[in-house]
């Protein structure tokens, strides 16, 4: 074999077909067999098994599935060991954490808060400015128009045909409207500002009517009784919001109705159970909080003082643990 003929063995490509995006990255690898010069001839020698392996395309040696996305070819490899690990993964994926759904039920303010001295002064000033610079409203203009019509009727040259220009407005005058509004005002019962709004009875939702209140319950966590937001363990087949709704409706002796604000949790907290009740399949709990507002038509019954509490946001620190309080304060509306 001549020296020119030997050059065809100087570069043996692994890939046997036109290169693609993947093969372009592999085409730089080549095998150069050893050359042996015998006299004036050059021979390329390689062990037969190595030659057969090198002559096969590399992509044929990769087992698995090949998916082409645009101009890139993704190659996924699989092996018996990998398939065996995938079969065992569901059993190992069981979480040792128990999921809970909790509800942050708030009673919004019923009355406006008492004004501070500076707010009282500002309100008086605005009333005085409005009285001095404001224009007449439509109702006040109508009162003047009605007064002019009544005085016109008492004149000697009054013509009854003039009433046709007013249409049917003569049936209900502006004064008649004022009388009707006065009757409605007498029927209106404003919210009470009695001592009940300042009571220290935390079991009643009628306390602190000018502030927003949060419902807390005392629940058993191992051998301890802790103040928490109402919560229940998650059950298969229900969403976390349904779990939070069940936590509200399952309160003993309570007839509470809440309007939940969305399907997504507003907060999260994770804690471990006491060591004496921990197991390999139950290490602790992951709690997902959902916000809800006490419905206006709900009439909550008085709760036992040692089990339930309606507290303000600034009173939470007297009931909740520091770590739990840190997570709860992030999503409680301060109104």
Percent of the chain with pLDDT over 70: 61
User: What's the pLDDT band for 33 if we cut at 50, 70, 90?
Assistant: very low
Q: State the pLDDT confidence band at 114, using cuts at 50, 70 and 90.
A: confident
pLDDT at 300: 60
Q: Which of 39-53, 138-152, 177-191 has the lowest mean pLDDT?
A: 39-53
Domain containing 282: what range?
97-110+201-330
Q: Given a cut of 90, is residue 55 above it in pLDDT?
A: no
Q: Which of 60-74, 90-104, 105-119, 185-199 has the highest mean pLDDT?
A: 105-119
Looking at residue 9, what is its pLDDT?
42
Q: Which residue has the higher pLDDT, 289 or 94?
A: 289
Q: Distance between alpha carbon 38 and the CA centroid of its chain, in Å?
A: 81
Tell whether 131 is covered by a domain: no
> Is position 221 within any domain?
yes
Whether residue 91 is contained in a domain is answered as no
- Most confident listed range (10-14, 260-264, 331-335): 260-264
- Tell me how far apart the alpha carbons of residues 207 and 197 are, in angstroms, rounded to a whole number: 4
Token pair recorded at residue 58: 């590399």
CA proximity to 265, closest of 294, 285, 242, 236:
242
In a domain, 276, yes or no: yes
Whether the full predicted model's pTM is greater than 0.85, yes or no, is no
Pairing of strands 213-221, 258-260: unpaired
Which single residue is written with the structure tokens 């001549």?
Answer: 2
Q: Mean pLDDT over residues 257-277, rounded?
A: 89
Write the CATH number for 208: 3.90.79.10
What is the pLDDT, as a whole number, of residue 184? 93
The answer to whether 290 touches 104, Cβ cutoff 8 Å, is yes
Q: Provide CB contacts within 8 A for 24, sequence distance 6+.
A: none
Whole-number pLDDT of residue 163: 63
Confidence of residue 52 (pLDDT cuts 50, 70, 90): low
The model's pLDDT over 161-211, given as tens digits with 9 standing for 90+, comes to 666 666 555 567 888 899 999 999 999 887 776 555 456 788 888 888 888
> Is residue 93 pLDDT above 70, yes or no?
no
Residue 191 located in a structural domain: no
Is residue 319 domain-resident? Answer: yes
pLDDT at residue 235 is higher than 60: yes
Asked, for residue 27, whether it belongs to a domain, the answer is: no
Find where tokens 């999921």 sit. 99
Highest mean pLDDT among 26-35, 116-125, 138-147, 220-229: 116-125
Q: Residue 35: which of 61, 12, 6, 57 has the closest Cα?
A: 6
Structural domain includes residue 134 = no
Q: Contact at 8 Å (CB) between 44 and 33? A: yes
Selection from 233, 245, 225 nearest residue 308 by Cα: 225
pLDDT at 37: 44
Supply the mean pLDDT for the chain: 75
Give how many domains the chain has, as a whole number.
1
Nearest to 235 by CA among 89, 128, 98, 61: 98
Reported confidence tier of residue 146, pLDDT bands at 50, 70, 90: confident
């Amino acid at each position: 074999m001549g020296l020119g003929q030997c050059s065809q063995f100087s570069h043996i490509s692994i890939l046997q077909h036109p290169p693609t995006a993947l093969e372009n990255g592999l085409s730089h690898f080549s095998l150069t067999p050893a050359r042996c010069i015998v006299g004036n001839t050059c021979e390329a020698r390689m062990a037969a098994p190595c030659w057969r392996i090198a002559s096969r395309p590399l992509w044929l040696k990769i087992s698995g599935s090949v998916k082409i996305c645009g101009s890139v070819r993704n190659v996924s490899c699989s092996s018996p060991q990998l398939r065996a690990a995938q079969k065992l993964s569901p059993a190992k994926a069981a979480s040792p954490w128990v999921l809970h759904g909790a509800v942050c039920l708030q009673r919004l303010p019923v009355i406006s808060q008492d004004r501070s001295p500076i707010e009282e002064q500002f309100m008086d000033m605005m009333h005085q400015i409005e009285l001095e610079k404001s224009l007449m409203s439509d109702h006040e203009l109508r009162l003047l128009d009605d007064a002019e019509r009544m005085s016109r009727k008492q004149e000697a040259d009054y013509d009854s045909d003039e009433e046709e220009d007013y249409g049917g407005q003569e049936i209900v005058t502006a004064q008649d409207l004022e009388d009707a509004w006065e009757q409605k005002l007498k029927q209106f019962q404003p919210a009470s500002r009695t001592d009940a709004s300042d009571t220290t009875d935390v079991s009643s939702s009628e306390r602190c009517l000018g502030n927003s209140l949060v419902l807390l319950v005392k629940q058993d966590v191992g051998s301890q009784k802790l103040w928490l937001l109402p919560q229940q363990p998650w059950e298969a087949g229900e969403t976390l919001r349904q779990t939070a709704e069940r936590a509200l409706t399952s309160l003993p002796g309570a007839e509470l109705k809440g309007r939940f604000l969305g399907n997504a949790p507003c907060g999260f907290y994770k804690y471990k159970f006491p060591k004496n009740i921990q197991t390999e399949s139950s290490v602790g709990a992951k709690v997902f909080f959902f916000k809800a507002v006490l419905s206006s038509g709900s009439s909550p019954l008085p709760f036992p003082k040692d089990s339930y509490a309606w507290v303000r946001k600034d009173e939470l620190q007297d009931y909740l643990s520091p770590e739990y309080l840190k997570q709860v304060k992030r999503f409680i509306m301060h109104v």
